[in-house]
């Protein structure tokens, strides 16, 4: 036993010595290039020490911080954050392996990792000429793959909190991630643009819609869909309901001001799904009142009225408009539904040229409708068509298998959590969110919602912890 401990200590000291050597070399070069780089190195080392010295607090702090970063996308801060988080997670795992500490991984993580490896196929095939685009688009594909990989690392990092932090505490702390987006969104709602900093007006609004710190209204809408569900979860396990009801009202108010129409349907599905397992007169009345209030808030906005009117001028509800006419109308009527039909038609026509493996990751914006003024393309606004065009039939099949695997895993967790209400309610909420998302993927760019998935995989990792990690005394009430 003593020899084993000494061996671990030797490898840890060796690793620390190597890190110190690398830091010393970098610091020497940094001084020669720019004193500012030396400051960055010092801050990075200090952050690294803090990460290992206060691991649980550091991870929770990083989780909370993520919702504030998209406002600085032009400065590449979210990308830098993701790369740093990936590096920290890998470093933590390496140190744990060198010191003999257990690395906590569940079976679903391996399934997730298998899908990430599968995605790398399109990164490899692109420079080899196996796809519809050439190697000049490689960096775009690498960027998308790294985004997917960062979600896997978030899942792995959160799993390391197991045994150290109660799951209810982590989920509750995640609600602090609402502070920055909601605060900025309220400023965008109640203050004129002339009074807002340029950073908030350049990315903060699209017409009358707000985006908080998420950079785009739909991004904030997708993000708030999840947190409406989490507030509902807190409502289900708390004896004091009034504060959570007030927070639910505030989040819902900001949500409707994003103008995220698809999210409106998603939230209604979410609430109905969550409450479908236990119907009581009081609950039924509460759900009806909430849905009516939610619809009224959306319909009372100018954008909401416009969106509801647009539906009647699409093939969906108007028998006098077919797909061809919808495409023609999309050029002049500013109807986003007709625009989507036209965009999808062009994308599917492009897909027919490379149906098996597609064109490559992040190439779909180049294949559909493009902006006449800038020449830039648009995201597909349908994640199933995205995978079909970018990865062909093979990639779409893999994506659907990944979704089916997620659904099966969440149902499995729900069945195993019946004895602990707080865990069961969280699993039920995750299933409801999952159903809402696979529906929203029909008309939205859900897979582009990096911040949403950062928290989604955090919650899925936590829900996978066994019942013994959840405190039954907090689960005395079911919403």
* pLDDT confidence band for 462 (50 / 70 / 90): very high
Residue 476 has pLDDT above 50, yes or no: no
The predicted model scores a pTM of: 0.84
* pLDDT at 237 (0 to 100): 80
Give the pLDDT band of residue 475 (cuts 50, 70, 90). Answer: very low
Judged against a pLDDT cut of 70, whether residue 194 lies above it is answered with no
Out of 216-220, 226-230, 301-305, 406-410, which region has the weakest mean confidence (pLDDT)? 301-305
pLDDT digits (tens, 9 = 90+) for 415-459: 998 878 888 889 988 998 898 889 889 888 999 999 999 999 999
The pLDDT tens digits for 231-266 are 988 887 888 888 888 998 899 888 888 877 666 677
SS (H, E, C) the chain: CHHHHHHHHHHHHHHHHHHHHHHHHHHHHHHHHCHHHHHHHHHHHHHHHHHHHCHHHHHHHHHHHHHHCHHHHHHCHHHHHHHHHHHHHHHHHHHHHHCCCCCCCCHHHHHHHHHHHHHHHHHHHCCCCCCCCCHHHHHHHHHHHHHHHHHHHHHHHHHCCCCCCCHHHHHHHHHHHHHHHHHHHHHHHHCCHHHCCHHHHHCCEECCEECCCCCCHHHHHHHHHHHHHHHHHHHHHCCCCHHHHHHHHHHHHHHHCCCCHHHHHHHHHHHHHHHHHCCCHHHHHHHHHHHHHHHHHHHCCHHHHHHHHHHCCCCCCCCCCCHHHHHHHCCCCCCHHHHHHHHHHHHHHHHCCCCCCCCCCCCHHHCCCECCCCCCECCCCCHHHHHHHHHHHHHHHHHHHHHHHHHHHHHHHHHCCCCCHHHHHHHHHHHHHHHHHHHHCCCCCHHHCHHHHHHHHHHHHHHCCCHHHCCHHHCCCCC
Confidence at residue 473, expressed as pLDDT on a 0 to 100 scale: 45
Q: What is the model's pLDDT at position 292?
A: 72
Where are the domains positioned within the chain? 105-311+364-474
């Amino acid at each position: 036993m003593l020899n084993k401990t000494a061996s671990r200590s030797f490898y840890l000291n060796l690793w620390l010595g190597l890190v110190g050597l690398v830091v010393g070399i970098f610091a020497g070069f940094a001084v020669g290039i720019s004193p500012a780089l030396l400051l960055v190195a010092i801050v990075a080392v200090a952050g690294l020490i803090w990460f290992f010295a206060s691991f649980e607090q550091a991870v929770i702090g990083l989780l909370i911080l993520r919702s504030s970063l998209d406002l600085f996308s032009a400065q590449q801060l979210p990308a830098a954050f993701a790369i740093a988080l990936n590096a920290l997670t890998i470093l933590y795992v390496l140190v744990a392996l060198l010191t003999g500490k257990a690395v906590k991984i569940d079976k679903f993580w391996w399934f997730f990792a298998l899908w990430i490896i599968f995605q790398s196929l399109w990164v490899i095939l692109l420079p080899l000429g196996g796809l519809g685009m050439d190697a000049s688009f490689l960096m775009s594909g690498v960027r998308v793959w790294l985004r997917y990989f960062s979600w896997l690392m978030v899942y792995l990092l959160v799993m390391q909190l197991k045994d150290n932090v109660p799951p209810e505490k982590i989920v509750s702390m995640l609600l602090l991630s609402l502070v920055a987006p909601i605060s900025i969104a309220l400023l965008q709602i109640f203050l004129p643009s002339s009074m807002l900093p340029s950073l908030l007006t350049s990315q903060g609004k699209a017409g009358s819609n707000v985006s908080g710190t998420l950079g785009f209204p739909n991004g904030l809408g997708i993000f708030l869909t999840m947190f409406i569900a989490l507030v509902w979860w807190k409502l289900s396990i708390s004896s004091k309901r009034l504060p959570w009801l007030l927070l639910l009202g505030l989040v819902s108010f900001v949500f409707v001001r994003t103008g995220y129409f698809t999210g409106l349907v998603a939230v209604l599905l979410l609430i109905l799904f969550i409450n479908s397992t236990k119907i009581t007169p009081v609950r039924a009345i509460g759900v009806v009142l909430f849905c009516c209030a939610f619809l009224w808030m959306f319909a009372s906005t100018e954008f909401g009225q416009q969106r509801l009117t647009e539906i009647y001028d699409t093939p969906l509800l108007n028998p006098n408009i077919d797909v061809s006419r919808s495409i023609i109308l999309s050029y002049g009527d500013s109807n986003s539904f007709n625009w989507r039909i036209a965009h999808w038609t062009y994308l599917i026509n492009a897909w027919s040229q490379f149906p098996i493996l597609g064109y490559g990751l992040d190439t779909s914006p180049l294949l559909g409708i493009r902006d006449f003024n800038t020449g830039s393309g648009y995201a597909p606004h349908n994640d199933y068509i995205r995978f079909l065009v970018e990865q062909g039939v093979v990639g779409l099949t893999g994506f659907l298998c990944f979704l089916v695997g997620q659904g099966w895993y969440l149902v499995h967790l729900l069945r195993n959590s019946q004895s602990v209400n707080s865990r069961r309610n969280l699993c039920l909420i995750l299933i409801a969110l999952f159903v809402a998302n696979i529906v929203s993927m029909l008309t939205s760019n859900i897979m582009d919602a990096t911040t949403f998935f950062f928290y989604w995989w955090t919650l899925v990792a936590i829900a996978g912890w066994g019942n013994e990690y959840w405190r039954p005394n907090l689960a005395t009430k079911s919403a």
